[in-house]
Amino acid sequence: MHEFALIDRIRKQFSQTQPEVLLGIGDDCALLTPRATLAVSTDTFVEGTHFFKGTSARAIGHKALAVNLSDLAAMGAKPLYFLLNLTLPNTDESFAHELLAGIHALAALYQCALIGGDTTRGPLSITITVFGECPADKALRRSAAKAGDEIFVTRKLGAAAAAVYARKQNIKASTALCKALDFPDPQIALGMALRGVASAAIDLSDGLVNDLSHICEQSALAATLQAEDIPVSPAIDDLPGINAQQALQFAVNGGDDYALCFCASPLRREELHAICANLDLELFHIGVMYAKSDASQGSVQVWHGAELLPIARGFQHF
Amino acid sequence: MHEFALIDRIRKQFSQTQPEVLLGIGDDCALLTPRATLAVSTDTFVEGTHFFKGTSARAIGHKALAVNLSDLAAMGAKPLYFLLNLTLPNTDESFAHELLAGIHALAALYQCALIGGDTTRGPLSITITVFGECPADKALRRSAAKAGDEIFVTRKLGAAAAAVYARKQNIKASTALCKALDFPDPQIALGMALRGVASAAIDLSDGLVNDLSHICEQSALAATLQAEDIPVSPAIDDLPGINAQQALQFAVNGGDDYALCFCASPLRREELHAICANLDLELFHIGVMYAKSDASQGSVQVWHGAELLPIARGFQHF
């Protein structure tokens, strides 16, 4: 499939428009007239780093967009449109079609319009840049958590990390585990509902402890988590030979959950329960933010009863 | 150099802010409150496809931003800010520093602030997404050329393509040729000055004929160029064994010029001369747009006197 044929295909497949997009695909630039504050995020998705060689093209496409939408969710933003930079190693038409189908299905779900991008040849890599809208004063910033805030997640954690473990160990992972890793579901509706309710939020891409430490650092606070309260995905039980401690490790330090982790004042509990009931989500209160008294402490501590657990930091790309 | 150390370095080095950037690097999203219409463009820059292995890190950084700024120029937009997605194969600190220095020097020149991005490990690749501002009714679209418009460039062409040829043939290229290829200079001031004056514009990345054909297709017109009027870079003469015809081929079909090619009504000639005098640019009138009478014709013809030259189409990535 030649480059211009690919671009033509993309243009036809992603024909959805948005009123504030004056000019979409096909010129030197897209032209936008945003009505509200724009939230912008971008993530690159590289074979061998972010997904295993051999992952289905549809999953790659889905996840490349999903991880970006998850950043919008973490800000409380509503998806509007996106840019797609596609680097393909060859002209395999069916691979390109499946990849685009994976992106398109998720984009259509959120009525997120493609406004431009780039296609080039090289080692398989996808960069997506998403644009969302969000009232500036209600955006969920990492820096606005308060001491005494409670820490929540609304999804059981660790399944994607368990799937990574299984693939690395050459153990067959169940459908549920594979789905958690390959087709993450960004919590867009939750993010929007948390505007003005949560004090801070982040999406879990690099592991709970690692990601929560960013909120701690930017809010100049620390966090304690109670291991018994951290919801561990029951799908991990599908793996042979994994004990409860290892499962907890997946939930605490594993990446790729793409669930929101957020902080809120205890005064907001009732609202949070109502939001989660509306969205058919479980609310898990996993810990509390507190003023850091000792700079030498790690910013996130995980306790099991009265025992402080040794925890390793999560994922770095290099 | 670990990922978080790299991010810290980037954050410190690119500390410039913009009043309309509410929130820059460091959260899940950047938050923007644009005052005018936003022009957005993105390009991925891959080792082996867009630059030779062994190109200096500073040149790679410069050019990765320059090709994107050139897209803003082609729209008549003023650069505001950008996103940087950096995929690095290893932890070579000096390479990363030089690359960032190349980006930073050009960004500082245009007061273009870094607002976010992504760092990851993988085969060397850089995606930059630029944002500029432009009054919507004065943006230089590809689709608005008119029959009878004259076609212009303001820079001599072909030097970058000659440098590519030299490197492929293992011939030593002169400093001038290398500079043309490695450190292209986006025509931002020209693009802004052409707002409301030129009818259509494009930047020359894939070769004059190839790029001009996009204006033709989107304006439903054809173009004739006069070979004698196409300005050929004198730096090409530095290469041994290149005759005038080959030099013309570099200028007509070579890529990587990053000069603007634009169309304007003959009534605008005086204004164009004044603009170019102000910016210290030469104005080269190379051809004319005309109504396409025969759909089987190629959209861009190059004549030498009364003889129609056989021309090949320019660059496709795959």
- Cβ–Cβ of A31/B3 closer than 8 Å? no
Mean pLDDT, chain B, whole residue set: 92
Residues of chain B in contact with residue A201, where contact means CB-CB under 8 angstroms, are 28
Residues of chain B with pLDDT > 90, as a percent, come to: 77
Q: Look up residue B37 and give its two tokens.
A: 């219409």
Q: CA dihedral in degrees (A275, A277, A280, A286; nearest 10)?
A: 70
Considering only CB atoms, A122 lies closest to which of B46, B117, B139, namely: B46
The rounded distance, in Å, linking the Cα atoms of B45 and B128 is 8
Residues of chain B in contact with residue A47, where contact means CB-CB under 8 angstroms, are 122
The rounded distance, in Å, linking the Cα atoms of B144 and A26 is 13
| pLDDT tens track for B4-35 | 788 888 988 888 778 889 898 889 999 999 98
pTM over 0.80: yes
Residuewise pLDDT in 10s, chain A (318 residues): 677 788 888 988 888 778 889 898 889 999 999 988 999 999 999 988 888 888 899 999 999 999 999 999 999 999 999 999 999 998 788 999 999 999 999 999 999 999 999 999 999 999 999 999 999 999 999 999 999 999 999 999 999 999 999 999 999 999 999 999 999 999 999 999 999 999 999 999 999 999 999 999 999 999 999 999 999 999 999 898 899 999 999 999 999 999 999 999 999 999 999 999 999 999 999 999 999 876 656 689 999 988 988 875 554 554
- Cβ–Cβ of A141/B91 closer than 8 Å? no
| Chain Cα centroid distance, residue B185 | 8
Per the DSSP assignment, residues forming a β-bridge with B308 are B303
Considering only CB atoms, A316 lies closest to which of B2, B27, B115, namely: B2
Cβ of residue B18 closer than 8 Å to a chain A Cβ: no
Considering only CB atoms, A85 lies closest to which of B42, B139, B203, namely: B42
ipTM of the shown complex? 0.91
Cβ of residue A19 closer than 8 Å to a chain B Cβ: no
Model pLDDT, residue B147: 95
- Cβ–Cβ of B120/A49 closer than 8 Å? yes
Model pLDDT, residue B140: 96
Q: Is the dihedral of CA B207, B210, B213, B218 positive or negative?
A: negative
Considering only CB atoms, A142 lies closest to which of B27, B125, B318, namely: B27
Residues of chain A in contact with residue B23, where contact means CB-CB under 8 angstroms, are 139, 141
Higher pLDDT, B310 or A242: A242
For B:131-190, CB contacts with A below 8 A are 132, 134, 136, 139-143
Which residue out of B11, B29, B202 would a mutagenesis test of the A interface target, given it has the greatest number of A Cβ atoms within 10 Å? B29
Neighbouring residues of A206: CB distance < 8 A, sequence distance ≥ 6 = A255, A314, A315, A316
> How many C-beta atoms surround the C-beta of residue A273 within 10 A?
11
Neighbouring residues of A293: CB distance < 8 A, sequence distance ≥ 6 = none
pLDDT band of B295, cuts 50, 70, 90: low
Model pLDDT, residue A144: 94
Model pLDDT, residue A29: 94
The rounded distance, in Å, linking the Cα atoms of B236 and B250 is 9
The rounded distance, in Å, linking the Cα atoms of A306 and A177 is 32
Neighbouring residues of B274: CB distance < 8 A, sequence distance ≥ 6 = none
pLDDT band of B192, cuts 50, 70, 90: very high
The rounded distance, in Å, linking the Cα atoms of B230 and A203 is 54
Which residue out of A20, A23, A28 would a mutagenesis test of the B interface target, given it has the greatest number of B Cβ atoms within 10 Å? A28
The rounded distance, in Å, linking the Cα atoms of A228 and A285 is 11
Residues of chain B in contact with residue A215, where contact means CB-CB under 8 angstroms, are none
| pLDDT tens track for B122-158 | 999 999 999 999 999 999 999 999 999 999 999 999 9
Q: Rounded mean pLDDT of B256-263?
A: 97
Model pLDDT, residue A297: 62
Q: Rounded mean pLDDT of B201-218?
A: 95
> Which of these, A75, A95, A229, A217, lies nearest to A152 by C-alpha position?
A229
Q: Look up residue B140 and give its two tokens.
A: 């230089």
